[in-house]
Structure 1
């Protein structure tokens, strides 16, 4: 019996024979070509074929997993058309007279390194997407398939160095029990797709699977990140019992759909969801979310090559509002900067970006950008129950200035006879010690508070949350952080407004009783955390 530890990214237990897949990617050789223009045309032909292939995968994904997950492959096709990406390849071919494979590979490494160097884990995970689409083009140029084998038979666990999103979505759900990879990221599209498919997954197992492992019995625990090859009888029985327990728990959670989020003593808490794009609404509804407490609108910017237009944003906000019906949708205004960077903003390098030019500071300094978003947001408010929320607030003057710009936009829309909700609720993020200290005065200016515990922990404890060396110091359970939350809730209630939590701490069931004692009104969490949290609250 051999046991390995990785990172569990999709819960569940898989037990079955393993099939090891080895990628067939060959080393890309640099060759000098006599006709660079002909090589550019060869690249363009491969690019067209790759886009067509991704179109087929996109349609297949839509049929199996829904339109929301299929949007990933629309993004992949856009990557292959990205002017900067294409020009980098073609310029290298023309300037250095190199073969198309080498030019694509060089550009892939350049772009992947750029993503991997970013502080934001979501953007770091996009490196795998650029590698996926680029490798597809390289394989087409070399008349190769990406893998040297496919899953044979049924009831297998797949082990691989890594799996690209396009490979993951093409796995036969009826044949594959789960998978384990040596590389990968919990924020990668591969992990996201696996969770949607309901497959137990463990990544980061630095084992180096051999072909000889194929056929061996394997256990994959997607909750703990444990992987066991050739388990003994006692271990196998232990995990079979754990598997049965997990499946029974999932069935019981489904019975909580439609049930009130209420304690045995009658205390009610609203359970909302955090999302980053319109396609995420499907998961919110599937998990019985009572609303959306945080729509991270910055992802509309991060996934665009230029400033997203008013119309583009309007369509996104309207789509979410309409899908959610009467349920509240809280849209956080642009929170770019710090660990979320978009090149077209032209932001200068900062030694300490977490304390720098970000979020509401950008919006108030560049109101022309802010107004575009507010117009889109207000227009969408005519189609559902939308609220607006300003991030990174530290003073009353910032709130008043932001509300003043919102009033200007309302006046412009009225003059143009454009419909919007005149009484749209306005809230702020409480994520700095300054906003906690000023909560009494801030509460008089807005309709609600939402506590961003990720940044509040960082700023309260003076610990950079991106720094892996500070794990034991950046304790979100710190009495200082909890006292900050309690002070905020009391200030909100003293002024008759509601207060929620939209940081990761909201899903921590170890603190659910603490938050209930504080009188928290709302918890906004990832969609998959809604039913387990409802279970914990109803047991109170």
Structure 2
């Protein structure tokens, strides 16, 4: 038996035979050619084929992992039409009189190096994307296109790393688990694996790939990040029992549907769901969430090539409110900036984008954008139970300005004869230490707080959440973070506001009791974690 260790990104146990994922051979020869027009024509045909393939992959991703996670393939299709990228390919073909494959490969290397050298984490991530689309074009040029099949048997897919398109192209029904030598827990592949509910371990190291072969029997423990190749009887028995226990627990969780989120001593708590698209509503209802605690409205902007209109936004908000049939829906206003960049916003390059011009700062300085969104929100408010919250708050004045703009928009709508609900709750996100420290003052202005633990951790511990090299320093259980949450909870309740948590920590059941003892009123998690958190709540006795 040989044991390897990486980082588990989806907790489950899988056992079966290994299939080593072999990348297409992209070694490209430089070939002199006199017919440049013919080579450019070949590129155009390969790009057209790539677009059709990516559309198919996008449709598959839409069905399996939802619109939010499928958007990476829309980005790939847009990158295929990038003027700079295409002009580079054509220029190399014309000036160097070389074959199409070589021109695409050189362009890919140049653009990937350019993106990788940028300070912005979002732009750095584009390096992998440009490589992915370029490899697809080259595969079409050479006729070396994979059909994404993985044989007839279910296999543990092992690879150096997997591009998002490779992950989605694999037949989900034939994949027992993913194991990669490299990658980070924030990579697209890791996110896709979590959303596909497939056990996954990343960062096992290159030695792993050099020592395994197709057909080896292995067990993957996505909880611990361990892989056992040719396991002994004792290990197999232990992990088989663990797998059965996990499956039984998931089955039992289904029996919790329709049950109350109430502790043994009678304290009730709201358990809501986080979503990034109207298309995720089905998952919210399927998992019996009590409402939506975080609707990430920025995806309406990320998926558009221009600012979404008031009508576009209104119909999206109306649809989610109607679908939730009176259950609470909290929509976060625009949170663009930092790792979420949109070209048409025309944002300047920043040395520290996470500390820069983002979220509420954009909204308050570009009121035409903010008021369009607020108009759409208040128009939709009559179709359900709406809450609106503002992200990235650091001061009282920011909240006062945001509330004043809400008042102006409501007044304008009423003057136009448009009905607006008078019961819309207004709140803020506590995701900066500044907001937590002055939460006593902020609570006097709003109806609720929602703690964004991802950013609160980043800003409190000075740890870039996009940097995989410092994951070991990002202690999400750090006492400073818990103290800031507790302080915010106390100040909320003293001033008549309620408080929830919508960051990753909300789903951490090792902290559920801690949060309830702090007085947290609501936990908002990914839809698939709703029943798990309900189970944790129902097994807590706060009277002890």
TM surpasses 0.5: yes
Instruction: Report what 1:199 is aligned to.
Output: 198
Instruction: Report what 1:407 is aligned to.
Output: 407
Once residues 376 and 96 of structure 1 are traced to their aligned partners in structure 2, the CA distance between those partners, rounded to angstroms, is: 53
Displacement after TM superposition at 1:272 (Å): 1.6
Instruction: Report what 2:367 is aligned to.
Output: 367
Q: What is the DSSP-based 3-state SS (H/G/I as helix, E as strand, rest coil) of the residue aligned with 1:178?
A: strand
Displacement after TM superposition at 1:378 (Å): 2.9
- Contact kept? 1:274, 1:293, Cα under 8 Å: yes
Displacement after TM superposition at 1:539 (Å): 0.1
Instruction: Report what 1:294 is aligned to.
Output: 294
Instruction: Report what 2:168 is aligned to.
Output: 169
Instruction: Report what 1:323 is aligned to.
Output: 323
Displacement after TM superposition at 1:44 (Å): 1.7
Confirm or deny that 1:514 pairs with 2:508: no
Once residues 300 and 66 of structure 1 are traced to their aligned partners in structure 2, the CA distance between those partners, rounded to angstroms, is: 14
Displacement after TM superposition at 1:318 (Å): 3.5
Q: What is the DSSP-based 3-state SS (H/G/I as helix, E as strand, rest coil) of the residue aligned with 1:205?
A: coil
Q: Any residues of structure 2 matched to 1:332-371 within 5 Å, and which? A: 332-371=332-371
- Contact kept? 1:277, 1:299, Cα under 8 Å: yes
Q: Any residues of structure 2 matched to 1:487-502 within 5 Å, and which? A: 487-502=487-502
Once residues 221 and 381 of structure 1 are traced to their aligned partners in structure 2, the CA distance between those partners, rounded to angstroms, is: 45
Displacement after TM superposition at 1:312 (Å): 4.0
Instruction: Report what 2:153 is aligned to.
Output: 154
Displacement after TM superposition at 1:36 (Å): 3.4
Once residues 325 and 216 of structure 2 are traced to their aligned partners in structure 1, the CA distance between those partners, rounded to angstroms, is: 50
Once residues 4 and 13 of structure 2 are traced to their aligned partners in structure 1, the CA distance between those partners, rounded to angstroms, is: 15
- Contact kept? 1:154, 1:174, Cα under 8 Å: no
- Contact kept? 1:499, 1:520, Cα under 8 Å: yes
Instruction: Report what 1:260 is aligned to.
Output: 260
Displacement after TM superposition at 1:6 (Å): 1.8
Moved more, 2-11 or 199-208: 199-208
Instruction: Report what 2:276 is aligned to.
Output: 276
Instruction: Report what 1:55 is aligned to.
Output: 55
The CA deviation string for residues 142-166 of structure 1, in whole angstroms up to 9 with x for no partner, is 111237x942331322222333334
| TM-score w.r.t. length of structure 2 | 0.88
Once residues 276 and 118 of structure 2 are traced to their aligned partners in structure 1, the CA distance between those partners, rounded to angstroms, is: 18
- Contact kept? 1:101, 1:141, Cα under 8 Å: yes
Instruction: Report what 2:449 is aligned to.
Output: 449
Q: Any residues of structure 2 matched to 1:60-71 within 5 Å, and which? A: 60=60
Structure 1 17/120 Cα, relative in aligned 2: closer, same or farther at 3 Å? Answer: farther
Instruction: Report what 2:29 is aligned to.
Output: 29
CA RMSD of aligned residues (A): 3.2
- Contact kept? 1:122, 1:188, Cα under 8 Å: no
Confirm or deny that 1:437 pairs with 2:437: yes
The CA deviation string for residues 3-62 of structure 1, in whole angstroms up to 9 with x for no partner, is 111222222111112122312232133445434343333222112222223334445556
The CA deviation string for residues 295-322 of structure 1, in whole angstroms up to 9 with x for no partner, is 2233443454544444443444344333
Q: What is the DSSP-based 3-state SS (H/G/I as helix, E as strand, rest coil) of the residue aligned with 2:445?
A: coil
Once residues 161 and 74 of structure 1 are traced to their aligned partners in structure 2, the CA distance between those partners, rounded to angstroms, is: 25
Q: What is the DSSP-based 3-state SS (H/G/I as helix, E as strand, rest coil) of the residue aligned with 2:531?
A: helix
Instruction: Report what 1:133 is aligned to.
Output: 133
The CA deviation string for residues 422-452 of structure 1, in whole angstroms up to 9 with x for no partner, is 4422111122333233323322221111122
Moved more, 249-258 or 23-32: 23-32
Once residues 33 and 319 of structure 1 are traced to their aligned partners in structure 2, the CA distance between those partners, rounded to angstroms, is: 56
Instruction: Report what 1:394 is aligned to.
Output: 394
Gaps of 5+ in 1: none
Once residues 472 and 57 of structure 1 are traced to their aligned partners in structure 2, the CA distance between those partners, rounded to angstroms, is: 34
The CA deviation string for residues 353-406 of structure 1, in whole angstroms up to 9 with x for no partner, is 443332212221221222232233333334433321111222222111112222
Structure 1 173/345 Cα, relative in aligned 2: closer, same or farther at 3 Å? Answer: closer
Instruction: Report what 1:532 is aligned to.
Output: 532
Displacement after TM superposition at 1:94 (Å): 4.8
Displacement after TM superposition at 1:415 (Å): 4.3
Moved more, 530-539 or 329-338: 329-338
The CA deviation string for residues 469-511 of structure 1, in whole angstroms up to 9 with x for no partner, is 7666654433333232222212222222211112222222222
Displacement after TM superposition at 1:538 (Å): 0.5
Once residues 228 and 167 of structure 1 are traced to their aligned partners in structure 2, the CA distance between those partners, rounded to angstroms, is: 24
- Contact kept? 2:272, 2:524, Cα under 8 Å: yes
The CA deviation string for residues 212-268 of structure 1, in whole angstroms up to 9 with x for no partner, is 711211111122211111111221222111111111111111212221111011111
Q: What is the DSSP-based 3-state SS (H/G/I as helix, E as strand, rest coil) of the residue aligned with 1:43?
A: helix
Once residues 92 and 322 of structure 1 are traced to their aligned partners in structure 2, the CA distance between those partners, rounded to angstroms, is: 54
| TM-score w.r.t. length of structure 1 | 0.88
Moved more, 77-86 or 267-276: 77-86
Instruction: Report what 2:7 is aligned to.
Output: 7
Q: What is the DSSP-based 3-state SS (H/G/I as helix, E as strand, rest coil) of the residue aligned with 1:267?
A: coil
Once residues 185 and 80 of structure 2 are traced to their aligned partners in structure 1, the CA distance between those partners, rounded to angstroms, is: 24
